[in-house]
Amino acid sequence: MLYHLLQGWPEIFVKACQVTNTFSYMIKTPYLEFPYWVEDALFFRIQKYKYSACDKEKSNIVNFFDKRLQKKIRPEQVRRYLAYYFEERSRALD
């Protein structure tokens, strides 16, 4: 198995992690030091950051719906449909 993962490094390793829903926080530990090429795959190819809209973007979204629907929209109404983007910034996989 290890030979197969290393054969097409890092593409095969990344695909295997995606198929098995393995994220960097599951592998990362303070007790192990990884070689630079493993850290590169773990922390730059597997780890993903969750996008969250900043305050300016949120207000632009609300203004867009105000104009488009031609009525006053509250941020709570938009949050109901776009909650993923209205959450606070956080790292999804760390």
How buried is 22 (Cβ within 10 angstroms: 0-12 exposed, 13-18 middle, 19+ buried)?
Answer: middle
- pLDDT surpassing 80 at residue 89: no
**Confidence band of 82 (pLDDT split at 50, 70, 90):** confident
Q: What is the pLDDT of residues 32-80, one digit of tens each?
A: 788 888 888 877 777 655 566 778 888 888 888 888 888 888 877 877 7
**Do residues 20 and 42 make contact, with C-beta atoms less than 8 angstroms apart?**
no
Angle at 51 between CA 42 and CA 37, to 5 degrees: 15
Q: What local confidence, expressed as pLDDT, does residue 50 receive?
A: 59
Instruction: Tell me the whole-structure pTM to 2 decimals.
Output: 0.43
Q: What is the pLDDT of residues 14-34, one digit of tens each?
A: 888 888 888 777 777 777 788
What are the domain boundaries of the chain?
2-46, 55-86
**Do residues 17 and 43 make contact, with C-beta atoms less than 8 angstroms apart?**
no
